[in-house]
Structures are given as structure tokens and as C-alpha cells.
Amino acid sequence: MKFTDGFWSLRPGVTAVYAQEAYDIVADGDSIVVTAPTRVIRERGNVLNLPALTTTLTPVAEGVIKVRIEHHIGGRRSPGFALNGTDRSGSISITDAAGVVTAGSLRAVIKRGAPWDLSFWQGDKRLTGSGHKAQGYMTLARDHAVAAEPTGLAGYTTDGKAPASHYVHEQLDLGVGELIYGLGERFGPFVKNGQSIDVWNADGGTSSEQAYKSIPFYMSNRGYGVLVNQPEHVSFEVGSESVERVQFSTAGEAIEYLVFAGPEPKDVIDRYTSLTGRPASVPAWSYGLWLSTSFTTDYDEATVNSFVDGMRERGIPLSVFHFDCFWMREFNWTDLEWDARVFPDPKGMLHRMHTEKDLKVCVWINPYIAQRSALFTEGAAKGYLVKRPDGSVWQWDLWVAGMGLVDFTNPDATRWFQDKLRALISQGVDAIKTDFGERIPTDVVWHDGTDPMTMHNLYTQLYNAAVFEVLKDEKGEREAVLFARSATAGGQQFPVHWGGDNTSTFPSMAETLRGGLSLASSGFGYWSHDIGGFEGTPDPAVFKRWVAFGLLSSHSRLHGSDSYRVPWAFDDEAVEITARFTQLKNSLMPYLYRESEQAAATGVSVARPMFFEFPSDPTAATLDRQYMLGKDLLVAPVMSATGEVTFYLPKGAWTNLWTGEVVPGGTWITETHGFDTVPLYVREGAVLAVGARADRPDYDYLEGLTLRVYAAGETIDAAVTVVLADGTPVELRVSGTADAPVVDRAGVTVEVASRI
């Protein structure tokens, strides 16, 4: 949200006051509290009739400092996000010159007097800071705020105007060459510099500026991250209003943010997810191929069996079958009851899918309850649906006729919905796709009194947490898995998430990848997308290229809108490609599952941006058409009809996984690929754990395991961890020479795949 008209002036209807000096710095327990008048105090009379901002600095955890800026401290207080481990370990000191807050390696320094100068340091490196006119309190005259463009302020409401009269903002410096990433699953440019971004969840597809997963967290290539601790709407101007700063603003009387130290990107993510929640461990079977009935297609049990049997007959390993919307009767969504017209024996069908087809089963749900559903009648009678201020049930016809919304702020409503899900799980359902959760109204009253502006983004957290809790209770700690679309900060605790409604084109492949890389830069450990694109039907070339991309992502699902995504619907080669890459992914599970456990331990995603692994390489900082799959595999999806792809190899020796050829890095490469390959390179010194099975993702990874050493020198000395499907880590050591490598466990083979 922009408040200024160029560098010198404010936009019409905007008045602003800014923190001008640190007039008073005092200790308050483990915090420093700064009184910041909005003009420099030169004599006693200057203190009269003068707004002041109060800035409180608090050490939150090792490498994390919290900043709270308030105008009127009696104003409505945001609940913020649920944060773990805020032990407030750190120290404060105040001198005649400055106040200093120290939290491990991170410290904040506020200089006394004018001009306003708050800076953040790690060691002797200044990370960022808040300077002149950075902390501001903005007042909008309503006649201007709702006026026609260009005088109105762009916001996030349906009329495009800022809805509130008062905002607080902070601006943090951008250094020369500094780049910003994250802010949720964003499908536009991966580097956020120059963008205006509203953190306000929306169902806008992947080809828009909107996001299903809006996260008010960003990270910088200078080695720090920032979380704005406001579930409400937060507007970011990333070098787009003041080109030297990142600005973030929110309506009301206060804003709170946390700064996370690095120095490496993975350190920032580790600290961020330590506070907001680690991604849960996901079951090994979830890494296999998922096949969906698709969205609006016509199907019954016979159709489902034809898909499942067709995959098996064609040699395509299938792990999960997903029933989309029409497992329930139309106009009844979401009543959690199978449509008896096409699924007369759901429990028997699910049993057969488990025992005869050896499959896990996922079903689609959402929190929107159609008025024809029995759940609507029951929920409305018990007061479990969200209400309008007049006490009536909130309803509309968008999505399904007369739909209401489960009020997850009501513990009884949550238990009621969870009990309905438990009955579904008892029938044999293994996983749940939690769709929607973005279109949350603000003209309502919540059971617990939460401000509707807070609950718009926060709703998805309560929704996904409620469903995930059921799966953990019924299936076990390591067996719970969602397929979720919406999220906010902390949503990474309830994996996995997928990228929403993309189109069946090469450009949509690229925007989908950008969304995944941005989500990884926001603390999410796992991520998937609709292979082939959701809207429309891809031509065979797009489908086959997308299959390779999808099966070299952490999780892989074939899904579409109004057409089936079985490979034989395209051509015979599509069948071969799907089988080839599914088998490849299954064979890589000993490597991938170790990376999965690292994601659960640190928050660092399985599929991650290049700059995570190569933070000191300036070329890696902007790459958005390739990624690292774990720490050792580089993937560059082919997004062209010709098969031509250009990608960058960082410094070092890289081995082509398909051919074994060793290629020097530090350069750009252009290759042309058939449908059966994709640029897939192994990092120098990697010891890749490759399994003996390609028919399924969940097996004994030690049985028949091969350790492949890449770009080995004359001598070898490396430790490798293999995590078994039950979570047990097994440490293996490879030693010896390139001519005679050895491993310290019987039954495990070691081979040198390439040498330098």
C-alpha cells in the first residue's frame, strides 16, 4: 500500500507522522522501550500536542529480536501468530549513546537522539535498519481513500481501496544488490524487489498476483529474515514505493515484526520455523505418484478401477488414489457422505483398494457447508456455523448454493467437524485434501470474538490444524498427511501443500515453479502441483514435460479440471515417460527421505531455491527456472516445445545423472532434451543413496542399497545418513580410494559413479 506521491509528497488525503528521534530509552524487564516523538524536541514546549510512537525491542530467542511499534497503546491488539520457544534469551544494555538488545549472534542498536536510527547487526555486519521517516503513523481522509483512482490508495478490498483510516508502517533498508524472497506462494517474479504485495489470502489461480498461501515473512540474500507478526492484512512495498527500502504496513495503532539472523539462508529458515513450527514428518508412501479422478469429471467405482488397473497394466507404480469433489453428491458439499448412486459400498471399496490394489486413499473436502447438506442443518442448529452481526447464519451462493462456514474458533464446532472426519477415516480413508479456506468473509462475527480482519488469513490455520489432528490421532504421528491449498504463517506444520489452479501451458509450468520456490523461501518443507496443469487439457508435449517436473518435486499428483490425467489419454510415449520418472523417483527414495527428515528438523524444503545451497554465488541469487532437489541434485525442468533448456551450473564439478559425464560448473549450459530426460545433475562430492526398488516409495531402503559417489577424488571419506521409512536414521561411512571404495555395512554396495 503506497502512501507517498514520489519522494517528497504524500498522496492526496494522507497525513503522516514519523518517529524523528529516540528521545527516551528505558529498560522494561528484558526489553528496551523507546519513546519516539514525531518531531525533534528542542525545548519543553515541543512536547505538547504531539503524537509519539513507542518502540519496544525484545530478544525473543537465539538470533531473533522482536520490534513492536505503537501509536496508541490502548488500541486493539493483534493476537499475532502462535510462536514456539520464545524463551527471551538475550540481554539489554543502555548507555548515553544508545540502547542495545542482544539475542545470541543478532543485536539491535537504537541510537539516542535525532535522527531516528535503529539498526540490526550480526557480528560486524550490518544487516538492515530503520532510518529517517521509516516508522510512520498514517491517517487517511475517507473522502480521498474511497475516491476514484488515481487519488485512492490501492489495497485489497473488492473496490480496490484501503478500508481503514489509520495505518502503522515500518521501512527497513535495502542495501546495494540486496534481493528479497518469500511472502508466501507467489507466482510472479521470484525476486520480490519492485513488487507491491498484499498478504491477504485469495482464490485467484496461479496466473495472478493473488496467493492461496500469503505469508508475511520475507528473507534477504544479505542473510536475515523478517516476519511481520500480524495475521491481519499486511501490505508490502518491496523497493516499490521507496526504492531503497522494504515497507510493510497494517491497519490500526500498532505493528510488530521479528528479525531473524542468518548468516546463511538455511539458518534463517531454521530459526523462523523453530518459532512458527516445523513441518511435520510425512510418510514415505506419500512420495509416490498420486492419481486423481480430476475435478468435474464423471466417475464411479468402475471408472476408478479402470484407472488403477490401467496404471498397473502399463507398469506405472501408483501409491495414492485421490477422490475429488464428486465422491459426495452435488449440492451437498461438504457433507462427508459418499454419493450412494455411484459408490454404494464405500467401506468395501476402500478395503479392496487397500488389499487388492495396495493403494492409499485420499478424499477431497472443504470447510464450506452447502445448505442442502445435513451438516448445514445440524451445524446451524448447534451454532457451529459462522454468523452475521444480526445472529443469522452467514451464507452465500459462491461455490455451492447457500453455503455456510464452519466456525473453527468454537471448540465444540471443531470437535463436531472432527468427529465427522473420524467416521470417514474409520471407513478406510488415509489422507485428506483440504481444499479452499481462502474466501473468508469479514462481515461476520466469530464465536470467540476474534476480529474478522484477523480471521480472514488465520482461518486456514485452524482448518488445517483441525483436520491434521484427526489424521494424527487416527493414523499415527508419522502417517498424517494433508494435501492442502491455503495457508498462513505456521501452516508448514500441516503438510503437504499444493500449488492450486494453474493452466495447461509451458508458461504456467514456470509460474508454478516460481510459486514453489517462493513457498520454500517462506518456511514450507514440501510442495506439489497439478501435473499437466489444472485448467484445460494439456497437449501431449506439455503433459510429458510436466510429468518429469512433477516427479522431481517433493510430492507428485496427476490432477486436472474437466479431463482425466491418466497418461494413456495423451499418447503411448506419455505412458513410458510417466513410468520412467515414477520409477526413478522411487529408486531415489533413500536419498529423498533423508532430505524429507531434514525438512522436518530444520524447515529447509526438499525442493529448494538455488541460493539456499549457493548463497555466495551471485548468479544463483536470481534463478527461478531450476532448483535443487535436496542438497545434491540439480533439476532444470524443460519448459519448451523444442526441448531446449538453458540453465546454470554453479562452480564445481557436476555429473550428468543420465550419462555419467562430468561437466565443470560456473557457467550457463544449453541442452536439448527428448521427453525421456531432463537436466539432472549431481553435485561434486555427493554420495547418492539409491534404492533397489522402483515399484514403490516405501520399502526397506537398506536392502540392496547402492551408494554412488560422484566426482570423487583419489581418496574417499564421507558419511551418509539413510533414514528408514519409520524414521530411524542409519549412519553409513564410505572410505577407501576411487579404485577400491568400501562401505562399513554388509549388504550395501558402493560404486564410484564419476571421478575428477
**Residue 57: inside a domain:** yes
Same domain, 310 and 234: no
Asked if 481 and 286 count as a contact pair (C-beta separation under 8 A), the reply is: yes
Same domain, 326 and 185: no
Same domain, 268 and 309: no
Which CATH number fits the domain that encloses residue 349? 3.20.20.80
> Mean pLDDT over all residues of the chain?
95
| Residue 519 CB neighbours (<10 A) | 29
pLDDT at 467: 98
- What's the mean pLDDT in 364-380? 97
What confidence tens digit (pLDDT) does each residue in 523-541 have? Answer: 999 999 999 999 999 999 9
Contacts of 74 by beta carbon, 8 Å cutoff, 6+ apart: none
| Residue 243 CB neighbours (<10 A) | 12
Is the per-residue pLDDT at 652 higher than 60?
yes
**Residue 351: inside a domain:** yes
Phi, psi (deg, nearest 5) at residue 462? -70, -40
Is the per-residue pLDDT at 147 higher than 80?
no
Is the per-residue pLDDT at 151 higher than 90?
no
pLDDT at 86: 74
- What's the mean pLDDT in 662-682? 98
Output the CA–CA distances (angstroms, integers) from residue 481 to 301, 317, 475, 632, 747, in the order listed. Answer: 24, 20, 9, 26, 32
Q: Give the number of C-alpha atoms closer than 13 A to the C-alpha of residue 634, restricted to the C-beta side.
A: 29
What confidence tens digit (pLDDT) does each residue in 167-183 have? Answer: 999 999 999 999 999 99
**Residue 565: inside a domain:** yes
Per residue, the 3-state secondary structure of 738-756, as one string, reads CCCEEECCCCCEEEECCEC
What confidence tens digit (pLDDT) does each residue in 268-281 have? Answer: 999 999 999 999 99
- Distance, in Å, from the CA atom of 646 to the CA atom of 618, rounded to the nearest integer, reads 17
- Distance, in Å, from the CA atom of 560 to the CA atom of 299, rounded to the nearest integer, reads 14
DSSP E strand boundaries for 333-407: 360-365, 368-369, 404-405
DSSP bridge partners of 434 = 365
Contacts of 431 by beta carbon, 8 Å cutoff, 6+ apart: 286, 320, 360, 361, 362, 363, 471, 481, 482, 483
Residue after which a domain boundary falls, among 250, 276, 302: 276
pTM of the model: 0.96
Same domain, 291 and 229: no
Same domain, 299 and 179: no
Same domain, 501 and 574: yes
What confidence tens digit (pLDDT) does each residue in 426-478 have? Answer: 999 999 999 999 999 999 999 999 999 999 999 999 999 999 999 999 999 99
Is the per-residue pLDDT at 349 higher than 90?
yes
Query: Is 641 in a helix, a strand, or coil?
Result: coil
pLDDT at 526: 98
**Residue 300: inside a domain:** yes
Nearest partner of 183 among 224, 226, 222, judged by Cα: 226
- What's the mean pLDDT in 7-29? 96
Residue after which a domain boundary falls, among 573, 598, 623: 598
| Residue 508 CB neighbours (<10 A) | 28
pLDDT at 87: 74
Q: What percent of the chain has pLDDT above 90?
A: 95
Same domain, 428 and 290: yes
**Residue 239: inside a domain:** yes
Same domain, 257 and 314: no
Q: Is the dihedral of CA 256, 166, 247, 277 positive or negative?
A: positive
- What's the mean pLDDT in 373-402? 97
Containing H/E element for 689? Answer: strand 687-690
pLDDT band for 156, please (50, 70, 90 cuts).
low
Catalytic residues: 435, 438, 501
What confidence tens digit (pLDDT) does each residue in 252-265 have? Answer: 999 999 999 999 99
Same domain, 260 and 308: no
Work out the end-to-end distance of the chain between its first and last CA atoms, rounded to an integer number of angstroms.
Answer: 53
Same domain, 316 and 254: no
**Strands 9-10 and 404-405, bridge-based pairing:** unpaired
Contacts of 205 by beta carbon, 8 Å cutoff, 6+ apart: 500, 501, 502, 503, 535
3-state helix, strand, coil in the chain (%, to 5): 20, 30, 45
Cell of 583: 520409477
What confidence tens digit (pLDDT) does each residue in 290-332 have? Answer: 999 999 999 999 999 999 999 999 999 999 999 999 999 999 9
**Residue 591: inside a domain:** yes
**Residue 319: inside a domain:** yes
Is the per-residue pLDDT at 150 higher than 50?
no
Amino acid identity for residue 367 in this structure: P
pLDDT at 734: 97
Same domain, 190 and 259: yes
Per residue, the 3-state secondary structure of 205-222, as one string, reads CCCCCCCCEEEEEEEECC
- What's the mean pLDDT in 687-709? 98
Is the per-residue pLDDT at 406 higher than 50?
yes
Nearest partner of 419 among 459, 379, 380, judged by Cα: 379
- Distance, in Å, from the CA atom of 153 to the CA atom of 233, rounded to the nearest integer, reads 15
pLDDT at 76: 87
CA triplet 264, 173, 609: central angle to 5 degrees? 35
- What's the mean pLDDT in 115-136? 98
Which CATH number fits the domain that encloses residue 75? 2.60.40.1760
Asked if 422 and 390 count as a contact pair (C-beta separation under 8 A), the reply is: no
DSSP E strand boundaries for 12-76: 14-18, 24-28, 31-37, 52-61, 64-70
Cis status of the peptide bond prior to 12, with omega within 30 of 0: no
Cell of 118: 535503529
pLDDT band for 369, please (50, 70, 90 cuts).
very high
Contacts of 197 by beta carbon, 8 Å cutoff, 6+ apart: 183, 186, 209, 235, 236, 238
Name the residue range of residue 347's domain.
284-367+409-598
Residue after which a domain boundary falls, among 598, 631, 650: 598
- Distance, in Å, from the CA atom of 56 to the CA atom of 37, rounded to the nearest integer, reads 14
Radius of gyration of the chain (CA): 27
- How many structural domains is the chain composed of? 2
**Residue 398: inside a domain:** no
User: What b/e string do you get for 458-478 counting C-beta neighbours within 10 Å, with b at 16 or more?
Assistant: bbbbbbbbbbbebbeebbeeb
pLDDT at 146: 46
Per residue, the 3-state secondary structure of 243-306, as one string, reads CCEEEEEEECCEEEEEEEECCCHHHHHHHHHHHHCCCCCCCHHHHCEEEECCCCCCCCHHHHHH
CA torsion angle for 691, 696, 701, 703 (degrees, to 10)? -80
- Distance, in Å, from the CA atom of 228 to the CA atom of 478, rounded to the nearest integer, reads 31
What confidence tens digit (pLDDT) does each residue in 718-741 have? Answer: 999 999 989 999 999 999 999 999
- Distance, in Å, from the CA atom of 446 to the CA atom of 456, rounded to the nearest integer, reads 11
Packing angle, helices 506-520 and 540-550, rounded to 10: 20
Strands ordered across the beta sheet of 556-558: 431-434, 360-365, 320-323, 289-292, 556-558, 530-531
Output the CA–CA distances (angstroms, integers) from residue 587 to 276, 570, 582, 629, 692, in the order listed. Answer: 33, 26, 9, 14, 6
pLDDT band for 88, please (50, 70, 90 cuts).
confident
User: What b/e string do you get for 689-725 counting C-beta neighbours within 10 Å, with b at 16 or more?
Assistant: bbbebbebbbbebbeebbbbbbbbeeebebebebbbb
Output DSSP code: residue 546: H
Is the per-residue pLDDT at 158 higher than 80?
no
Same domain, 209 and 341: no
CA torsion angle for 529, 194, 455, 535 (degrees, to 10)? -30
Nearest partner of 185 among 520, 604, 555, judged by Cα: 520
